Amino acid sequence: MRNLELNYYEDAKVVTYFKETSGYIYFIKHGLVHVLDRAAQWQVVSYEAGGYFGDFQILLDLKSDFSYRTGNIGSTVLYKLKADKFLQLLELYPEQADFYKMRALHRYHHLKKVRN
C-alpha cells in the first residue's frame, strides 16, 4: 500500500490524455471513469469502482489511444501505482504477469474494436 498514491478528482477531469504516456496504472476506489475516443467526444466505455486502467499502456509499451475522464457523479477517487513498481510486482509473480499481459492485450483490442 505504501506505493499507492491516493488522488481525488472533480467531475469531468481528464486523468490521461490521448497519446499521453502516463506512467501509472490506476485503480478506481470510488466514482466513474469514462474512456473517450481520440477526439474526446464519444464515450467508448466506462469503468466503475473496482475497475482499473493504464495496464495496456504499460504492458504493451503504448501511448494512450484514448482519453480517460472522470464521470459527472461527484468526486472520483483513484489509487495510482507507478509503472516501474507495477512491473516489479509482476516480476515477482510470473504467472500473474502472464495473466495481466493477456488481459491487457484483450482489453486493448476490445476498446479499439468498440471505438471503431
| CATH at residue 14 | 2.60.120.10
Element (DSSP H or E) covering residue 56: helix 55-59
State the cell numbers at 1.
Answer: 500500500
Q: How confident is the model at residue 34 (pLDDT cuts 50, 70, 90)?
A: very high
Q: Give the mean pLDDT of 34-47.
A: 89
Counting the structural domains of the chain, the total is 1
Q: How confident is the model at residue 1 (pLDDT cuts 50, 70, 90)?
A: low
Report the alpha-carbon distance of residue 58 to residue 81 in Å, rounded.
Answer: 11
Report the alpha-carbon distance of residue 11 to residue 33 in Å, rounded.
Answer: 10
pLDDT tens-digit readout, 51-91: 999 999 999 999 999 999 999 888 999 999 999 999 999 99
| pLDDT (0 to 100) of residue 98 | 94
Range of the domain at 89: 5-115
| pLDDT (0 to 100) of residue 116 | 76
